Chains A and B, each alone.
Chain A
């Protein structure tokens, strides 16, 4: 039977301090997060003129980036679940639709998808509204953040579908058979037997998707969303100091991604040993 708990990755031996075992429970990579934050503070302290100004200017961009990433990620989890279960469906129509979705979306660059959602999608809605004489649709104005999140969810949902599918398929068939032989319905065996086990298989790649989504969210800067990247460009356009701006923006992204990666690793460790 599967599910042998993997041995815990025991920190690294280089960091080994006799008697300091409890300290080592803290993932040494948190040090890297601290280092980058330290560097940012140092830059701001030493030369506040561009660096503090840049930080203040892009602050609301950071909020937008985090908001978009988290919102899109939550919807992606749902979209991926639907897509993944669709891919595994016995029903040929559901299976076909899910497969088509995954294959088409994964074959088109995210940037092109975002541009289509922002520029083409509203026009399509307006034209449908005109044909059907529904004024609410005919006068539809796209909200940039909404279409950006939509674009990210549709795209990442396709990749997530494959992760769910693989995770569910990795659970031995005997588990479903045992559940069904006890009289559980298809849904009950998914809900109580398969998904709780699949979650642990799925979690590491899902965590990676979160970090990737965070980085790819910078693409929404080209479709009128004032995220961290776009705010950086706006600052540069006024003050003409590309080196400082992009150094600062890059460091801020690094803090976000390193922090998320640590968070993901922590969640993984927790769920691996609990139950």
Chain B
């Protein structure tokens, strides 16, 4: 029986929420909680999509929202030191005048925090060619569940010893609370070009993505939206997307002027070969911003179409895109649900959005079944159940789809080194062995 997610959200009330401003305060709070045997859950902006910051059995929520100082910007060393509550976009904003940016740009970048990004190893449209969060973090300050403070990595590459930074990134707040982050900054490109390729058939758009990958063309970003999403977005954002298209690809190229010219020429040719109806180039910074605003506000736009939606985060080899989209179409039919497709196509990271009415328990049951069918198919095609949103409490019971008991055992050993009492973010990431079959996260 599908659980009552509204009821559940009311059951998940923390015992207290604290807003520390310093590492010492975080450490003191964690120590206190440990001595009282209380769970501790770190929280950034709460934009996570896998229920990572959700309170399961009560406990203390440590909000990092007030630790939002950019502590140091060091352009010559291409790095910045920030507190975990700093909003992702603010880092790029702070260094833009120097001609730099912080690469990982989740669509939620105007709200989500660097601490949350580190916890989830977040990606974004521009991580296609430049790498996700883990590729842009040099060092961390971490408060362990016993209140001790450690410093992993450094403010440069290659500190001797194990790469604990690499292990912490993506650990979803289950190994420690990150209280400071040294990120790499990247020089802004000389030239940027944004293209919108318009298709009358979804399969032509996916075929274009496969061809771009196979030919080794590396755009900075390669996003896809289907017609259903386009119309929803256009109604909400007026981004200038064609209303009658079956799908569009949003492509961006960065680099030296010469490189951008050549690559955009190649991309246009591939799109045309794959029956793009038109390929439009953004002519101004405003037009470019508008195209991206549409993409980045897409989830919000869906709110106009259905009371609720459930975002998936599967990944597949890019050679399987056409097959996968066909399958999602089948799932839509089979379960009688609307599914919008919007995703980081260049990475093979899909975000099918399942629309439904959460007030209808029967629909909710179908949503869960549809989601599981999609995730299972991703795994069958050689992919993964999550590309960037994390496991959280949403997919922890699905971990055995991709990991054996031996694989999980090595992860558990790591967890027990850092978090032996499981007081830090309990019930997340690792499967508990309970049967799944319910919608475990609160949907929008």
Question: Do A and B actually bind?
Answer: no
Q: Chain A: residues with CB nearer than 8 A to chain B? A: none
Q: Chain B: residues with CB nearer than 8 A to chain A? A: none
